[in-house]
C-alpha cells in the first residue's frame, strides 16, 4: 500500500495567531484583514518581517525583509512585535487536535508538521475528505486556517501545501507531478535557493519540469551532489520517514560576551563573532535542530545597543555558515564605534532529519559538517580548550568555552 502523508502548514502563522488572540481578548480589528505583519520592533523599525497578512502582498512585502524596507513599500503597514510564548501555545493546540487523527506526527517546525495517515485510511476513509474535516475543525475550534498537502512522501506533501493557500487541501501524487509541479518556476522547488537558482538559469533551466528532464550527468558536472539531489526532488523522489516528535521547546540559542577591552577594529570584532558562532553552532547541533534565522547584536562603549538579523537561504547548523552571515550582518551595521559587548543568536528552528539527509550541496559542505562533528566530539570528550582555531593564536581574543550563553531563551519547556 502506498504511503499517505499530510503536510499541515499554518497560514501566516505568527500573524494569524496574533490576530486570533487579539480578537479573543476584545480587539475589534482583525489583523488578517488589513496590511499587517509580525516582526522586529515596530517603534524603532528594526528587525525583519516574520509573517504578513494577505492584504500586505500587493505591496510586495516579503517575509525576511527588514522592517525599514517594508515601511518604504507600505507606510501604513501595521506591525506588531512577536510573542513566541503565545505562538508555542497555539502550535501545541494544533498538534493536540491533529493527534485525534494519527499518532504519527512529526513536528517539523512551530507552524508545520507531517502526519503519516497511511494506517488511518481504514478507520477514517478517504484522505482528502479527512483532511478537509481537519482543516474545518482547526478553523472552527482554534480560529486560524491551515493549508494541507497530501502525497505519498514528505517532499511532495510539503510542495502540495504551498500550491493553494490559504485554507485549502491539495494533492500532489506522483502521477500529478507533470501537470501540477513541473510547470512551476524552479525556484519553488525545495532546496533550490538564491545561490542555486542562478546556476540553473545559466543552464537554461527555468521550471521544475526543465530540471526533472535535464541531463543528470551535466547537472553532476555543474552542481555535484546538489545537482543529483534537486534532480531527484524535481522528479518527486524522497523517502524519509515521518518520525514521531513533539520537540521545539526552545525559542532560540545564543551566546554573548562583555569584552574586557574596547574592540575598535573589524578583525578583532570578527574573531569575537567567530568565537560566539562556535559556541552557538555546537549547541545548535547538540539540540538536533537547524536554524532559519541568525541575529547579531552589540553594545558600544557608550552602552548604545544595535542589532540586525537575517534568514538563512537554507536552514543550517554549520558553524561556518552562522559565522559568515553574522559577519555580513555586523559589517552592515557597525560604524566603527568602539564595542564592549557582542552577541550571536540563532532562532526559528526546524527539525533536522528531513533536511539533514540531503543537506550537502557540495563536497565542501560534507567536509564542513564532518569537521564540526569532530570538533564537537573532541571538546565534549576532553576539554573545550583541547582544540582551538589558529585565528585566535596571538590575537588577544580568547575563544569561549562556557556552556549556557547570556542570551539563551528557554521557552516553556514544561508544556511539551
Q: Which residues are annotated as catalytic? A: 112
CA gap 220, 229 in Å, rounded: 10
Closest CA to 90 of 167, 41, 146: 146
CA gap 250, 347 in Å, rounded: 9
Closest CA to 274 of 370, 378, 399, 405: 399
Q: How many beta carbons lie within 10 A of that of residue 45, not counting itself?
A: 14
The separation between CA 3 and the C-alpha centre of its own chain, rounded to angstroms, equals: 26
Q: Hey, what's the cell of 259?
A: 569584552
CA gap 309, 316 in Å, rounded: 15
Cβ atoms of 127 and 8 within 8 Å: the answer is no
CA gap 120, 105 in Å, rounded: 12
- What DSSP element (H or E) covers 255? strand 250-263
Chain position carrying cell 537554507 = 314
Amino acid at each position: 500500500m502506498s504511503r499517505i502523508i499530510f503536510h499541515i502548514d499554518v497560514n501566516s502563522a505568527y500573524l494569524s495567531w496574533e490576530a486570533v488572540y487579539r480578537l479573543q481578548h476584545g480587539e475589534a480589528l482583525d489583523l488578517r484583514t488589513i496590511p499587517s505583519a509580525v516582526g522586529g520592533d515596530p517603534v524603532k523599525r528594526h528587525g525583519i518581517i516574520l509573517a504578513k497578512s494577505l492584504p500586505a502582498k500587493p505591496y510586495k512585502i516579503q517575509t525576511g525583509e527588514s522592517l525599514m524596507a517594508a515601511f518604504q513599500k507600505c507606510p501604513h503597514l501595521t506591525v506588531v512585535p512577536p510573542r513566541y510564548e503565545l505562538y508555542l501555545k497555539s502550535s501545541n493546540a494544533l498538534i493536540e487536535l491533529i493527534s485525534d487523527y494519527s499518532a504519527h506526527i512529526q513536528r517539523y517546525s512551530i507552524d508545520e508538521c507531517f502526519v503519516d495517515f497511511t494506517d488511518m485510511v481504514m478507520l477514517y476513509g478517504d484522505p482528502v475528505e479527512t483532511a478537509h474535516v481537519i482543516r474545518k475543525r482547526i478553523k472552527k475550534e482554534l480560529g486560524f486556517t491551515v493549508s494541507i498537502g497530501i502525497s505519498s512522501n514528505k517532499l511532495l506533501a510539503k510542495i502540495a501545501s504551498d500550491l493553494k493557500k490559504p485554507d485549502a487541501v491539495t494533492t500532489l501524487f506522483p502521477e500529478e507531478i507533470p501537470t501540477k509541479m513541473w510547470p512551476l518556476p524552479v525556484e519553488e522547488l525545495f532546496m533550490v535557493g538564491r545561490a542555486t537558482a542562478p546556476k540553473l538559469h545559466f543552464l537554461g533551466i527555468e521550471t521544475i519540469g526543465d530540471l526533472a528532464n535535464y541531463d543528470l550527468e551535466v547537472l553532476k558536472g555543474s552542481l555535484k551532489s546538489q545537482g543529483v539531489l534537486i534532480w531527484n526532488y524535481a522528479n518527486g523522489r524522497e523517502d524519509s520517514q515521518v518520525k514521531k516528535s513533539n520537540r521545539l521547546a526552545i525559542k532560540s540559542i545564543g551566546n554573548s560576551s562583555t569584552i574586557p577591552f574596547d574592540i575598535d577594529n573589524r578583525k578583532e570584532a570578527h574573531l569575537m563573532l567567530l568565537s560566539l558562532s562556535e559556541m552557538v553552532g555546537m549547541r545548535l547541533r547538540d539540540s538536533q535542530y537547524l536554524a532559519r534565522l541568525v541575529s547579531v547584536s552589540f553594545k558600544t562603549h557608550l552602552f548604545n545597543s544595535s542589532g540586525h538579523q537575517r534568514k538563512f537561504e537554507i536552514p543550517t547548523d554549520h558553524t561556518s555558515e552562522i559565522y559568515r552571515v553574522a559577519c555580513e550582518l555586523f559589517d552592515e551595521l557597525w560604524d566603527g564605534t568602539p564595542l564592549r559587548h557582542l552577541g550571536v543568536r540563532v532562532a526559528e528552528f526546524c527539525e533536522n532529519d528531513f533536511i539533514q539527509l540531503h543537506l550537502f550541496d557540495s563536497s565542501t559542505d560534507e567536509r564542513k559538517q564532518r569537521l564540526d562533528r569532530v570538533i564537537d566530539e573532541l571538546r565534549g570528550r576532553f576539554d573545550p580548550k583541547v582544540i582551538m582555531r589558529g585565528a585566535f593564536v596571538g590575537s588577544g581574543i580568547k575563544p569561549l568555552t562556557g556552556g549556557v550563553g547570556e542570551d539563551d531563551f528557554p521557552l516553556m519547556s514544561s508544556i511539551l
